[in-house]
Amino acid sequence: MPNIETLKRLSDLFDVSLHALLGAPRQWICQCCGMPLEESILSQEPDGTPNVAYCQWCYTGGKFVYETQEALIDFLSHHLAHPQWPPEQVRAHLAQLLPQLDHWRDRGEE
Ligand SMILES: [Zn+2]
């Protein structure tokens, strides 16, 4: 598996999309919030190169939007909840999911 930097260079060099290069061998998810990543919602570095690790809502202008898991969970539990999936269950799901993602794993516990 080539690293992301290599993929970006290949993508630029041959002018093909990252997803075409990857051939979708696995589901790519945002390493901050866990959302499945489509090319259209990838974040970008300030110079315009795509960052395939994060969605555009978690990482924008070279900065992460959420300082802590709690801040992200507060935001998402509000927005993802619906009658069949109450906010407490969303929170419980996220509290289990987020620590496994690279962005939060690197930081350790607050
Ligand atoms: Zn995200």
Write down the domain spans for the chain.
Answer: 4-64, 69-105
Contact between residue 27 and residue 36 where contact means Cβ atoms under 8 Å apart: yes
The predicted structure's pLDDT at residue 6: 80
The predicted structure's pLDDT at residue 15: 74
| 95 CA → ligand 1 middle, Å | 15
> Does pTM top 0.75 for this prediction?
no
| 32 CA → ligand 1 middle, Å | 5
pLDDT digits (tens, 9 = 90+) for 31-74: 999 988 888 899 999 999 999 899 999 999 999 999 999 999 99
| 47 CA → ligand 1 middle, Å | 19
| 39 CA → ligand 1 middle, Å | 13
Length of the chain: 110
